[in-house]
Amino acid sequence: MDSILRYGIRDETRLKSRELLLKSLLPNNEELKDDIFRVVKLAVEIEKHIFQEFQNTDNKYKTRVRSRIANLSDEQNASLRYRVLKGTVTVKEIATMSAEDMASDRMKQMRQQFHDEAIAANLLPEVFGTTCDLLKCPKCKSNTCTYSQVQIERADEPMTTLCLCITCGYRWRYD
């Protein structure tokens, strides 16, 4: 088996990458021991595709390999390993996938939740103010607008009027 991993390369970094990829594809999986040569071939092909992209074993190559190893050996992400072993995800796809694509469903849900919370925390509050027909929207020329006055700068400066067009949603400052 070592000769299969070593075939065609002399670079120790690439050999170690292949070994670690193989381990990540076989985490105590007894039913795959019979099909070890197919799994070894998968590990070699994944490493080859990564090497073909970078043409050397620099930090980018190592980072890509580490990312694959971490995602394939993650117990929370067994579905990725299963899809690679069954051929649903090709070797080329796994070699070039982004971290977001490889993430487990649980991780994707957590990221989406963090994303939604960040957006909600950074949304500007609606300008609930007085409705009037004296202001004209610079964008759609409608007269259905609301305004409110707030103190944005120093206390000795005049109040700033924030306007919102009810028709198109455009916001502007009225000075």
Taking residues 124-138, report their average pLDDT.
78
Residues with Cβ within 8 Å of 142's Cβ and at least 6 positions away in sequence, in order, are 136, 165, 166, 167, 168
- Mean pLDDT rounded to a whole number for the chain: 84
pLDDT tops 90 at residue 140? yes
List the chain domain ranges: 2-120, 130-174
Name the helix (H) or strand (E) containing 63.
helix 59-73
Q: Cα separations (Å) of 52 from 1, 5, 49, 144? A: 23, 16, 5, 61
Which CATH number, 2.60.120.10, 3.40.50.720, 3.40.50.2300, 2.20.25.10, labels domain 130-174? 2.20.25.10
Q: Cα separations (Å) of 36 from 41, 48, 60, 68, 163? A: 9, 18, 29, 19, 68
For residue range 80-115, list pLDDT tens digits in order.
888 888 889 898 999 898 888 888 888 888 989 998
Q: How big is the chain, counted in residues?
A: 175
Taking residues 149-166, report their average pLDDT.
85
Q: In which band, very low, low, confident or very high, does the pLDDT at 60 lie, cut at 50, 70 and 90?
A: very high
What is the reported pLDDT for 27? 67
Taking residues 6-31, report their average pLDDT.
80
Taking residues 3-27, report their average pLDDT.
81
Q: In which band, very low, low, confident or very high, does the pLDDT at 33 lie, cut at 50, 70 and 90?
A: low
What is the reported pLDDT for 105? 83
Q: In which band, very low, low, confident or very high, does the pLDDT at 2 lie, cut at 50, 70 and 90?
A: low
Q: In which band, very low, low, confident or very high, does the pLDDT at 75 lie, cut at 50, 70 and 90?
A: confident
pLDDT tops 80 at residue 29? no
Taking residues 23-41, report their average pLDDT.
76
**Considering only 4-13, 73-82, 102-111, 123-132, which range has the smallest mean pLDDT?**
123-132
